[in-house]
Amino acid sequence: MDTPLISASALQGASPAPLLLDCSFDLADAAAGEQAYALGHLPGALYVHLDRHLSGAKTGMNGRHPLRTRDEYAAWMASVGIGPDREVVVYDRQAGMFAVRAWWVLRWMGHTRVALLDGGVDAWVRAGGSLATDVPVPTPVAITPPPAPAMPTLDAGAVLARLPGLRLLDARAPERYRGDVEPIDRVAGHIPGARNRFFKDNLQADGTFKPAAQLRAEYAPLVDGAAKGSVVVSCGSGVTACHDVLAMEVAGLGTATLYPGSWSEWSADPERPVEKSPAA
Strands 88-91, 168-170: pairing kind: unpaired
Output b/e per residue, 7-23; b: 16+ Cβ within 10 A: bbebbeeeeeebbbbbb
Q: How many CB atoms lie within 10 A of CB 35?
A: 11
DSSP calls for 25-89: --TT-TTHHHHHHHH-BSTTPEE--TTTTS-----SSS-SSPPPPHHHHHHHHHHTT--TT--EE
Phi, psi dihedral angles at 90 (to 5 degrees): -110, 150
Continuous H helices in 127-261: 156-161, 174-178, 212-223, 241-250
Give burial (CB, 10 Å; 0-12/13-18/19+) of 183: exposed
Q: Could you tell me if 192 and 129 are in contact, meaning their C-beta atoms sit under 8 angstroms apart? A: no
Count of CA atoms in the C-beta half-sphere (13 A) of 162: 17
Active site residues: 235
Nearest to 236 by CA among 212, 277, 267, 215: 267
d(CA 90, CA 141): 19
d(CA 76, CA 82): 9
Residue type, 51: D
